[in-house]
Structure 1
Amino acid sequence: MKINYRFILLGIIFSSSLPTFSQISFKKSEVKNIIKKVADWQIAHQKEVKHGEINWTNATLYLGMLEWAKMAEEEDQDSSYYKWLLRIGSRNYWQVDQRMYHADDIAISQIYIDLYRKYKKNAMIVPTIARAEWVMEHPSKGSFELDYSKPKTLERWTWCDALFMAPPVYAKLYRLTGDKKYIKFLNKEYKATYDYLFDKKENLFFRDWHYFTQKEENGKKIFWGRGNGWVLGGLTEILQELPKKDKNRKFYEELYIKLCTRVAELQNKDGFWHASLLDPDSYPSPETSCTTFNVYAMAYGVNEGILDKKVFLPIVIKGWKALVSSVDEDGKLGYVQPVGADPKKVTREMTEVFGVGAFLLAGNQIYRMAEL
């Protein structure tokens, strides 16, 4: 897929020579230290988190914590973060959350599958496989057109956040087992959501049908920053599972490039993305949960050679520096918009586990970038 990146460059000011990490003081040790600080702060304050341990919010945290656990074990022989994750899975008997069809309630399975890959204990994935297969064998009759007051509407992936929660599970199961039924289900449901929520004029995802006709104060359509961040994060997870020669990969990679390209254009000059992508002036405060996902996705693309390094590296650098500025001395990540479905006001005091998880995911890719 050929993308014209020139329009992005109009909004970016950088020298004719590509900046190196040494020039901007991005050292591996600095990146690693900030990741550890944020991870340790969250673990120390995890008892204050009101969400259930296998809720989607914490599932997002665990994904980032898993990447940090890998780094800590490989480089420092520190397995304590893996043990922390194992305790959570074990005391919950590796169960998924309660709602059979709801995308949010299978998000925890992403962590279970990754831990199974390391430890090879069947108990870690039996409940996940049972849930995924039951859903495939008993497909929901829920319609994208139903009102959200009717539960069946949420039995399909009818809101953009769902594209982070459930699709990577099916991609992981496909890679793990080689069984094509998982990728067939993923393709069918994902493309149905894409057809329903993706605005092909703006190249952005609506959060859900409520926003099709709503407008921001400046008259622009409402495209939620974190909502599109969720989609990019989910695409990044899917691409890490699908082999480059897999025929199923093309759709997801092309959508990923298209969405990265559009979102890159909307980065604020301070390095953040704001809660409303097309009306940042109405939400002028930084918003780290959408910024973390965007930095994660774009850094991955640069590392893998999917995105043009000359175009996207300055965007990633600016975004990462903005994120680091949002971390307090004790490791608390601020400016995280709370659970919601649309743009909201944010303050530095606000934090949430899913924002921390995305920060750790982004940090891992930045660390890989520093290695290169």
Structure 2
Amino acid sequence: MKTIDCIENRNSWVTRLSIVFVLLLTAHVNNAQTTSQLSGKLTRPAVYQAMEKVADWQLNTPLQHNLTDWTNGALYKGMVEWAKIADSSKYYNWLYQVGEKTNWQLGQRKYLADDHAVGMMYLEMYRKYHEKKMLEPTLKSLDWIMKHPSHASIKNFSYKKGNNCTDRWSWCDALFMGPTVWATMANVNGKKKYLKFMTKEYKATADYLFDTNEDLFYRDDRYFDMREANDKKIFWGRGNGWVFAGLAIIMTELPENYKERPYFEDIFKKMATKLATLQDSSGYWHASLLDPQSYPAPETSATAFYVYGMAWGIANGLLNKETYLPVVQKGWNALIQAVHLDGKLGWVQPIGADPKHVTSDMTEVYGVGGFLLAGSEIYKMLQ
């Protein structure tokens, strides 16, 4: 029996060693998937090359969501910023074809911020081509909302039928999807009424969801009393990424002398200060900002949005270059390491509302949008 036990023991160890070998090999393959052809250096040629590779992969990959969905809205915003830099017109052509397929319409739900995000791309295309068909549907929708504002409460968030809290910006993601379009519209047509509406609604959301002790946003009020495994508050990585990137877009559109501009700048700088302390040693941020041990995998959609916002802050004089450029450098290098050989961006958390586990093979269009926003802003910053 002892001999049999020894043989079984030995076989067990062989099996275990085999498993370890397979795991190591898998890790090696995953690492090999990330491209060695791209450089994480902050030089214009290197940044351009990385954006081109990721953008081309996306153009060759069929979209899985409705063309007016918020997921694609985030992608389009990144793609249009890249199109402004790219030597080829194919990116503008691709965006134009999207607009033609949607008839330049927002999503069907009149109040829902998620269905407004696509408007950012439409307005940028209008700026380039000056075709009224690109502007008028979004203008009509925003004007209708102003004439028929929702009086729904932003409290007691729920997706249940009959709860109309999402008719207003009652969740932090909405601060990327909605107010960015309102601020851009105000800049495009020169009418401040859109800024007045946007600021009022933004303040209502921020006053409710912004934790002044942590300088971070709760995803919605369901998370006020929830805690992570380490007993820390739950602050979702991409959720705060939506807010931080949204602030950069909003402030790009605000007039320098807009009386409420300091309000947005204050939140932006507070978030930047906090976020810089939460970047890990490899340059990534994680799905849960205050409990990375429970979610140790990289999360590139959050990382991309933070890199974008901080690069924008440096370029526009809101963030100290000596303090934040190393953060941007580490973050961009980390993003480059997540790009597969074919240009696919990995480590993107799937659609959700809170921290989730991520793998290197996971990707999504909003992650690509964030990557292109980050690269485009770094490219401009390097001027």
- Provide the TM-score with structure 2 as the length reference: 0.88
In the alignment, is residue 35 of structure 1 matched against residue 51 of structure 2? yes
2:104 counterpart letter in structure 1: W
Which of 118, 126, 144 is equivalent to 1:116?
A: 126
Aligned to 2:137: 127
CA contact (8 A) 2:286 2:302 kept: yes
Alignment partner of 2:293: what SS?
A: helix
Cα distance in 1 for residues equivalent to 2:338 and 2:332: 10
**1:13 aligns to what?**
none
**After the TM superposition, which residues 1-372 of structure 1 pair with which residues of structure 2 at under 5 Å, given as runs?**
25-45=41-61, 47=62, 49-72=63-86, 76=87, 78-148=88-158, 149=160, 150-370=162-382, 372=383
Report the identity percentage. 52
Q: Which amino acid aligns with 2:149?
A: P
Aligned Cα RMSD in Å?
Answer: 1.3
State the alpha-carbon separation in 2 of the partners of residues 64 and 351 from structure 1.
15
Kindly indicate whether the alpha-carbon contact (under 8 Å) linking 2:71 and 2:366 is maintained by their aligned counterparts in 1.
yes
Could you tell me which amino acid in structure 1 is paired with residue 194 of structure 2?
Y
1:269, CA displacement in angstroms?
1.1
Query: Could you tell me whether the CA contact under 8 Å between 1:140 and 1:152 is conserved in 2?
Result: no
Q: 1:224 to 1:147 in 2, by over 3 A?
A: closer
SS of residue matched to 2:347: coil
1:267 aligns to what SS in structure 2? Answer: coil
How has the CA–CA distance of structure 1 residues 146 and 216 changed in structure 2, closer, same or farther, with 3 Å as cutoff? closer
Return 5+ residue gaps in structure 2 as ranges: 1-39
Distance 1:248 1:145 in 2: 24
The TM-score with structure 1 as length reference comes to: 0.90
Unaligned runs of 5+ in 1: 1-23
**Contact 1:218 1:279 (8 Å CA) reproduced:** yes
- Equivalents in 1 of 2:41, 2:168: separation in Å? 45
- Alpha-carbon distance in 1 for matches of 2:360, 2:324: 27
The amino acid of 1:64's aligned partner reads: G
Matched letter for residue 32 of structure 1: Y
AA in 2 matched with 1:343 = P
Which amino acid in structure 2 is aligned with residue 55 of structure 1?
A: D
Between Structure 1 and Structure 2, how many residues are aligned? 343
Q: Say if 1:229 and 1:294, in contact at 8 Å, map to a contact too.
A: yes
- Whether the 8 Å contact between 1:232 and 1:294 is mirrored in structure 2 is yes
CA distance in 1 between counterparts of 2:51 and 2:342 reads 12
Equivalent residues of 1:141, 1:152 under 8 A apart: no
8 Å CA contact 1:334, 1:347 repeated in 2: yes
Q: Name the stretch that deviates more: 340-349 or 149-158.
A: 149-158
